[in-house]
Amino acid sequence: MYRSRAEDLQWARNGVMVSVINGVTIPVVQKRIVDVGVENIDIIPLGADRVFIRSLSKVNVSTILNDAKDFFCSFFTNIVCWDKKVVLFQQGAWLRLYGILLLACMQ
């Protein structure tokens, strides 16, 4: 049985999990956040629409998100502190189809 190290648990507890709204891709969200001057957060994809956000500075990530709440609410919803019980195991996949007419795929 795997047991997490104390420093790993503390690292995870310093972050929050959020859902990305409207299907916006993570690189687009990261670019928009950097464009407004917020460079001290790290966004880690967890699969599906969930991401883990942590602070790269000593400032608490919740403080960063609350200071610009209106801005971050345009990208994120369901902001919760990390807990191993909250992470849903869900993963997307790409599927390549051969021999199917493009018209059939679009309907």
Tell me the pLDDT tens digit for each residue of 28-48: 888 999 999 988 899 988 877
The secondary structure of the chain as a DSSP string is: -----HHHHHHHHTSEEEEE-TT--HHHHHHHHHHTT--SEEEEEEETTEEEEEESSSS-HHHHHHHTHHHHTTTEEEEEE--TTT-----------SS--HHHHH-
Stronger pLDDT, 88 or 53, i.e. the higher one? 53
Task: State which residues form the domain around 51.
Answer: 6-106
Q: How many domains does the chain have?
A: 1
**10-14, 44-48, 63-67, 93-97: lowest mean pLDDT where?**
93-97
pTM of the predicted model as reported, rounded to 2 decimal places: 0.69
CATH code for position 95: 3.30.70
The answer to the question of residue 1 being in a domain is no
Query: According to the model, what pLDDT value does residue 93 have?
Result: 64
